[in-house]
Amino acid sequence: MIAVTGTRFRRTALTGAVLATVLGGGAILAACGTGGSDGSGTSGAASGGPARLSVADPYIPLPPAGGMAAGYLTVRNDGGQDQLVKVTSPGAESVTMHRSTPSSMEQVASLDVPAHGALQFARGGTHLMIMGWQKAPALGDELELDLTFAKSGTISVKVPVKELTYRPGQS
Ligand SMILES: [Cu+2]
């Protein structure tokens, strides 16, 4: 697992911002632990009302030799606070939520989706790890990911497999 991070996830200025946001939310306490049920930092008065979630820019960089892959997307929220608590796929055995640290990465049990904000997965920051593909992924394939949220239920997205160097905004 750790070997993958060094080559695949490049650290960017954005990473720092994303990590700071995640850490500031207070929802994630330790690797593989159970996050607090309500992020204290990001909810507060703004959390009234239901979350209104949508998923943007999902992609999976083509993994070398069909092995473990990363997945990225953005969960936008036009409503109250929510939490991503589980990700599964009918096409892969295991999907886990990870965040990168300066030297490694660690699995997290949940991720905060701030009220009127976004949960952003990005290279070098928070990411999904996808293992046990039923069929080796190829460019142009789509993998269904089912994102389960604490309050909003499950949202299914079709995530395209892109070139290893792909960035959102490129075609
Ligand atoms: Cu990872």
> How many angstroms does the Cα of residue 81 sit away from the middle of ligand 1?
25
- pTM to 2 decimal places: 0.71
Model pLDDT for residues 120-145, shown as the tens digit of each residue: 999 999 999 999 999 999 999 999 99
> How many angstroms does the Cα of residue 152 sit away from the middle of ligand 1?
25
Model pLDDT for residues 35-48, shown as the tens digit of each residue: 333 344 444 444 57
pLDDT of residue 45: 46
> How many angstroms does the Cα of residue 125 sit away from the middle of ligand 1?
9
The answer to whether the CB of 161 falls within 8 A of the CB of 141 is yes
Question: Which residues have C-beta under 5 Å from ligand 1, the single-atom ion?
Answer: 98, 105, 129
CA torsion angle for 109, 92, 10, 13 (degrees, to 10)? -50
pLDDT of residue 117: 98
Model pLDDT for residues 86-127, shown as the tens digit of each residue: 999 999 999 999 999 888 999 999 999 999 999 999 999 999
Q: In Å, what is the CA distance from 103 to each residue of 3, 4, 25?
A: 10, 11, 22
> How many angstroms does the Cα of residue 4 sit away from the middle of ligand 1?
8
